[in-house]
Amino acid sequence: MPTSRRENYDSACTGDFQHNGSAEHIRGAGGSRLRMKIEAMLWIVVFVLVALAFLFPRTRAFSLSAIGVAIFAIVVIVVIATRGDPVAPIAAAPPAVEQKPVDFERFHIENLDKADPEAKNRIRVAEIRFDQIRAEAGAERGSIGRIVARLYNDSAAFTLTDYGYDLVVQDCIRGTCTTVFEQHGLSAASVPPNQARDVEIAVRDGNARDQPPIKILGTANVLLTPAATRAQPISYPKP
């Protein structure tokens, strides 16, 4: 098909489409106006029949019947018009964003580092140690609720104020030990130089809440090792 004829054909199709769309729009608008006029006329008829029913008691039965028919016709028109109206699409609700729990322990560590940047370098990790480590029973039978240990500060110059730890709980059955729980954290303490203090570590998992308690089927083997330190110089009383 030549180019000029093709362009004329496309233009004619486009014009027909636009004309058809406009015609449909006009017909839709005209139908809506016609429906409103019919409803208005029927309501006028209803009011007139109500007035006649009160003015002429003899024809009251006929007037009431006619009122019922008119109201029924109005309801039918409204129902038909409602079915023909386009239904607006319902916007899909945005997907729920999973909220992560606030890590207060990490927030506490960051505040400590800002307040005293040198605190974590005063005592080497090798200068603190755990001993007399034992597991305490939890609320449920066979479960572990906390770890109790004695923390030693072998530094001769600084007081230990916070300690980081790595906790591993193993369940040993017939000579085979299997790790059933791991925990890493930072806890506060106050251990003067060359002294020791008893500490307690609650068994919990900060990354998975509402988890079942840790239960031991055989014998518990607790591995507790230091991972970090924070300390401050010895404060002597003023004379």
Residue that wins the pLDDT comparison between 194 and 98: 194
Choosing from 84, 100, 115, the residue where a domain stops is 84
Listed range (90-104, 118-132, 135-149) with the worst mean pLDDT: 90-104
Residue 181, classed as helix, strand or coil, is strand
| CA dist., res. 122 & res. 233, Å (int) | 8
Residue 115 lies in a domain: no
Contact yes or no for 161/190 (Cβ under 8 A):
yes
**Inter-CA distances, 67 with 36, 49, 77, 158, 187, Å:** 19, 6, 15, 99, 84
H-only helix segments in the chain: 3-55, 60-84, 104-115
Contact yes or no for 165/227 (Cβ under 8 A):
yes
Torsion sign over Cα 5, 7, 8, 12 = positive
Task: Give the phi and the psi of residue 237 in degrees, each rounded to 5.
Answer: -70, 145
Which pTM does this prediction carry?
Answer: 0.53
Q: Which domain holds residue 20?
A: 7-84
Give the domain CATH number at 135: 2.60.40
Residue 28 has pLDDT above 60, yes or no: no
Residue 113 lies in a domain: no
Residues 212-235: tens digit of each pLDDT: 788 889 999 999 999 999 998 876
Residue 194 lies in a domain: yes
Same domain, 128 and 190: yes
* Nearest in space to 199 (alpha carbons), one of 143, 140, 139, 128: 128
Same domain, 133 and 228: yes
Same domain, 131 and 214: yes
Could you tell me the strand order of the sheet in which 195-202 lies? Answer: 128-137, 144-153, 195-202
Same domain, 71 and 152: no
Same domain, 79 and 148: no
**Inter-CA distances, 89 with 21, 86, 92, 93, Å:** 22, 9, 9, 12
Residue 101 lies in a domain: no
Contact yes or no for 183/203 (Cβ under 8 A):
yes
Residue 239 has pLDDT above 50, yes or no: no
Same domain, 80 and 130: no
Number of domains in the chain: 2
Residue 38 lies in a domain: yes
Choosing from 22, 56, 84, the residue where a domain stops is 84
Contact yes or no for 146/133 (Cβ under 8 A):
no
Residue 227 lies in a domain: yes
Residue 45 lies in a domain: yes
Residue 238 lies in a domain: no
The total of other beta-carbon atoms located within 10 Å of residue 94's CB is 6
| CA dist., res. 59 & res. 21, Å (int) | 50
Tokens read off for 38? 């019919």
Residues 187-214: tens digit of each pLDDT: 999 999 999 999 999 987 544 556 778 8
Choosing from 57, 84, 111, the residue where a domain stops is 84
